[in-house]
């Protein structure tokens, strides 16, 4: 069992600190799709952050796109999930990969 727990909290969008070494990249088409999703459904999935400095573990692209949207802006209050302790660099990288890889496939039939 892990020693990491997560709690719900809120932060201003401007208080979130991008992860400088975030390995994920988004194409313009993907960014446009995320922007459309945020416009249509709003901010539905909280970002994950460090308890020390509000650095983002997961949600870097949502953060950047929301800052550029007039519907949000730097003073928007967002729900966040805060880890009980800072993650190591290795834990952070593994978390980001697992969050995106360990998802079910589609079956619309």
pLDDT for 102 beyond 70: no
Number of H helices, E strands in the chain: 3, 4
pLDDT for 27 beyond 80: yes
3-class DSSP state of 63: helix
pLDDT of residue 23: 74
Mean pLDDT, rounded, of the chain: 90
pLDDT of residue 104: 66
pLDDT for 103 beyond 70: no
Listing from the earlier edge strand, what are the strands of the sheet with 77-83? 6-12, 77-83, 47-49, 56-58
Separation between Cα atoms, residue 92 and residue 24, nearest integer Å = 12
**What string of DSSP letters covers 22-45?**
------HHHHHHHHHHHHHH-S-S
pLDDT of residue 35: 92
pLDDT of residue 101: 77
pLDDT for 98 beyond 70: yes
pLDDT for 96 beyond 70: yes
């Amino acid at each position: 069992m892990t020693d990491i727990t997560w709690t719900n909290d809120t932060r201003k969008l401007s208080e979130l600190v991008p992860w400088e070494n975030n390995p994920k990249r988004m194409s313009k088409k993907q960014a446009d799709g995320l922007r459309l999703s945020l416009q249509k459904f709003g901010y539905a999935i909280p970002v994950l952050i460090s308890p020390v400095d509000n650095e983002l573990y997961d949600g870097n692209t949502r953060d950047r796109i929301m800052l550029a949207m007039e519907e949000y802006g730097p003073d928007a209050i967002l729900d966040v999930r805060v880890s009980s302790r800072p993650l190591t660099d290795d834990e952070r990288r593994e978390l980001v990969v697992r969050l995106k890889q360990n998802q079910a496939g589609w079956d619309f039939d």
